[in-house]
């Protein structure tokens, strides 16, 4: 039996992120058996798409494919979208396609993250002078999802880094979807008055979201010149990351492969998300599959709302905002307005939309949280 390995990436409108994922995929064979063939593909935006990578493995004579999500944590992409693509392909071509776990909370991943953070601390000490760790606040920024399992894992990673290294305090924020987002998180941290703040994006690759994290860091730092805001590097292709990827692949051929997504809101009732148990497993990204990194929105220069970096405002405002603040795009369907307190309030409507197969997104129950995506409303360009 010839074994193929399929690394399933998310994809990005940022060419640098696509290039970095490719580099990681090209380094991975060095961590695997020499007779295994490795390929990769993306779920959305970038090329090649996942099907293209599967085709190449099948053409190479692979009759067993070990696939893994090229993602830190399991949310909708890893739990629904990618498995749908893999299962559909396996059924169409009669090939054995297995699916492993996400990278998850793993000692090797914690080690890689700690290395990036310690590098940032050492760099700051060398250029700005020593500041005790007890007088330093760590801020860990995760991707953010509509899945509390994935969001909770970011918090667990943050706690392990905080306690393992010994910072004075730690806060967790997210780049999108959930709360608190980067800017309100950093504003909160600034009020704690620690001498130094280390901002660490718990991300695999660069891209628009990394630019957003660093952009908001610079913005808040300008408001608080008495605090040192230090930007740590994201994970990238750290050797421990590659080792974890290799383990997620090889463990699939063990005697008892570990389960993927053990605390899945689609399998068990999770607080606040009970209605999503048993949801149909389907991909929600066919309408952007294969779009290249040059797609609209990939460059801040294309944005009419942001000045220097992508703030996420386009998620609320670039989809034909109607009078009274109604948003026509179904992903953000609802309306926002002020209630006299100076804060934007969001009222979500039904969250279904039709791209040809009538698939339905469950609404995120905290879409109206003032520290979530709506916090981007105050960052729009001044006319």
Region for 12 from its dihedrals, namely left if φ exceeds 0, alpha if ψ lies in -120 to 50, beta otherwise: beta
Pick the last residue of a domain from 211, 231, 251.
231
Domain assignment present for 96: no
Domain assignment present for 86: no
Residues 311 and 210 in one domain: no
Domain assignment present for 155: yes
Pick the last residue of a domain from 231, 257, 281.
231
Dig out the tokens for 304 from the structure: 């009419």
Instruction: Report the number of distinct structural domains present in the chain.
Output: 2
Q: Is 83 helix (H, G, I), strand (E, B) or coil?
A: helix
Which whole-number Å values give the CA distances from 301 to 45, 308, 316, in the listed order? 19, 8, 18
Domain assignment present for 369: yes
| CA terminus-to-terminus distance, the chain | 63
The CATH number for 149's domain is: 3.40.50.1400
pLDDT of residue 353: 40
Dig out the tokens for 329 from the structure: 């795009």
Pick the last residue of a domain from 203, 231, 259.
231
Domain assignment present for 100: no
Residues 225 and 318 in one domain: no
Q: pLDDT 10s per residue in the chain (383 long)? A: 899 999 999 998 889 999 999 999 999 999 999 999 999 999 988 999 999 999 999 999 999 999 999 999 988 888 889 999 999 999 999 999 999 999 999 999 999 999 999 999 999 999 999 999 999 999 999 999 999 999 999 999 999 999 999 999 999 999 999 999 999 999 999 999 999 999 999 999 999 999 999 999 999 999 999 999 999 999 999 999 999 999 999 999 987 666 655 556 566 655 556 777 777 656 555 555 656 555 555 555 666 667 777 777 666 664 443 333 333 444 443 444 434 433 344 344 433 444 444 555 677 666 767 667 777 766 654 43
Which whole-number Å values give the CA distances from 80 to 84, 140, 300, in the listed order? 6, 26, 30
Residues 208 and 118 in one domain: yes
Domain assignment present for 266: no
- Between β-strands 136-142 and 64-69, what pairing exists: parallel, antiparallel or unpaired? unpaired
Residues 226 and 114 in one domain: yes
Dig out the tokens for 167 from the structure: 């910072």
pLDDT of residue 338: 38
Rounded to the nearest angstrom, the gap between the alpha carbon of residue 263 and the centroid of all alpha carbons in its chain is 18
Domain assignment present for 372: yes
Domain assignment present for 77: no
Q: Which residue has the tokens 């071509």?
A: 93
What is d(CA 296, CA 229) in angstroms, rounded to the nearest whole number?
32
pLDDT of residue 335: 43
- Between β-strands 334-338 and 344-348, what pairing exists: parallel, antiparallel or unpaired? antiparallel
Q: Which parts of the chain fold into alpha helices (H)?
A: 15-27, 50-59, 76, 82-93, 107-128, 148-165, 182-192, 208-223, 239-250, 314-317
Dig out the tokens for 261 from the structure: 């997504």
**Cβ proximity of 59 and 27 under 8 Å:** no
Dig out the tokens for 47 from the structure: 């090329």
pLDDT of residue 289: 62
Note down the domain range covering 111.
107-231
User: Is the overall model pTM greater than 0.85, yes or no?
Assistant: no
Dig out the tokens for 177 from the structure: 């979807």
């Amino acid at each position: 039996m010839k074994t193929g390995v399929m690394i399933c990436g998310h994809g990005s409108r940022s060419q640098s992120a696509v290039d970095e994922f490719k580099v990681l995929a090209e380094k991975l064979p060095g961590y695997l058996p020499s007779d295994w063939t490795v390929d990769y593909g993306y779920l959305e935006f970038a090329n090649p798409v996942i099907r293209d990578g599967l085709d190449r493995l099948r053409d190479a004579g692979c009759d067993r494919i070990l696939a893994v999500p090229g993602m830190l944590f399991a949310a909708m992409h890893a739990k629904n979208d990618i498995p749908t693509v893999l299962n559909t392909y396996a059924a169409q071509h009669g090939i054995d396609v297995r699916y492993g776990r996400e990278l998850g909370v793993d000692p090797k991943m914690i080690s890689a993250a700690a290395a990036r953070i310690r590098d940032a601390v050492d760099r700051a000490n060398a250029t700005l002078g020593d500041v005790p760790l007890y007088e330093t606040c760590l801020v860990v920024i995760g991707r953010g999802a509509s899945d509390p399992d994935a969001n909770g894992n970011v918090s667990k990673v943050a706690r392990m880094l905080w306690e393992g290294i010994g910072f004075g305090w730690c806060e967790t924020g997210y780049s999108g979807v959930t709360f608190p987002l980067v800017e309100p998180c950093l504003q909160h941290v600034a009020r704690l008055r620690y001498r130094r703040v280390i901002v660490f994006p718990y991300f695999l690759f660069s891209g628009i979201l990394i630019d957003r994290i660093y952009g908001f860091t610079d913005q808040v730092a300008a408001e608080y010149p008495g605090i040192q805001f230090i930007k740590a590097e994201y994970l990238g292709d750290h050797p421990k990351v590659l080792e974890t990827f290799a383990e997620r692949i090889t463990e699939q051929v063990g005697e008892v492969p570990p389960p993927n997504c053990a605390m899945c809101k689609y399998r068990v009732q999770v607080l606040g998300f009970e209605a999503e148990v048993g949801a149909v497993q389907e991909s929600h990204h066919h309408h952007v599959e294969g779009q290249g990194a040059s797609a609209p929105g990939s460059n801040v220069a294309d944005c009419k709302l942001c000045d220097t970096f992508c703030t996420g405002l386009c998620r609320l405002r670039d989809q034909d905002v109607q009078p009274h603040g109604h948003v026509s795009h179904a992903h953000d369907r609802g309306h926002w307005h002020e209630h006299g307190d100076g804060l934007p309030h969001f009222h979500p409507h039904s969250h279904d939309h039709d791209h040809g197969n009538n698939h339905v997104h469950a609404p995120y129950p905290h879409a109206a949280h003032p520290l979530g995506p709506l916090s981007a409303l105050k960052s729009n360009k001044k006319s």
